[in-house]
Amino acid sequence: MPPVPLPRTSIVPRPTTVPQEAWNVRECLLAGRRPSLSSVTPTRSTSVSEDGSLLAQPWYSENCDRYAVENALLRCQKDGAYTVRPSSGPHGSQPLTLAVLLRGRVFNIPIRRLDGGRHYALGREGRNHEERFSSVAAMVQHYMQHTLPLVDRHSGSRQLTCLLFPIKP
C-alpha cells in the first residue's frame, strides 16, 4: 500500500495581506491552475516514493547539472520559468534544488528533506518561518498558485514570483 501524503503544515501562519513588493502577483493569478500532479511507480534516489512521482513531472530535470539548467532558464527568458534538479553538492538533507528565473537572473534554492523524508522545505536551515510540504510535487503546486519570495544573497533585496513555466532542459 503506498504511503498516505500528509497535509502541508506551516510553523507560522501566512499573512493575510500581500506585501506591496508583490511584483508579478497579477500574472500568477491570471495564469490559473496547472494540471493535477500525477505519480508513477517509484524508481530511485530522493526517496523511493518521491522519486517516481518526480520523474513524471514536466518540471523535473533528472540528469541536468546547475550549468545546463541555468542556461535553459536564461534561454527561456520568461519570468517565473522554473525546474527542479538534483543538487550539485553532497545530497544528504538537500537532495534537490529549485531553480527559478526572475528578471534575467536564476535563483537556486535548496530543497531540504525533513523528518527522514516525510516533509520538504525550501531554503537553508535556520529560518524563522518555514513552510513544510508532504512532497516536492506539493511544494511546486503550492508555489504555482502562491508567491515565492526570492532573496538576493548579496544585496538582501526581495522579489516575489510564482512558478509559471515549467522547463525540462
- Domain annotation for the chain: domains and CATH numbers: 21-166 (3.30.505.10)
Output the nine-digit C-alpha cell for 51: 522519486
Average pLDDT rounded to a whole number, residues 35-51: 37
Q: Is the pLDDT of residue 99 over 60?
A: yes
Q: Does the predicted TM-score (pTM) go above 0.75?
A: no
Band of pLDDT at residue 92, cut at 50, 70 and 90: confident
122 touches 98 (CB < 8 A)? yes
Which residue bears the cell 520523474? 55
Judged by DSSP in three states, 22 sits in coil
136-145 helix and 48-55 helix, angle to the nearest 10 degrees:
50
Q: What percent of the chain has pLDDT over 90?
A: 49
DSSP 12: S
Select from 71, 59, 85, 39 the least CA-distant residue to 144: 59
Q: How far apart are the C-alpha atoms of 123 and 58, rounded to whole Å?
A: 22
Q: How far apart are the first and last CA of the chain?
A: 34
**Range in 44-53, 61-70, 84-93 with the lowest mean pLDDT:** 44-53
pLDDT at 124: 80
Q: How far is CA 100 from the centre of its chain?
A: 8
Cβ atoms < 10 Å from Cβ of 28: 21
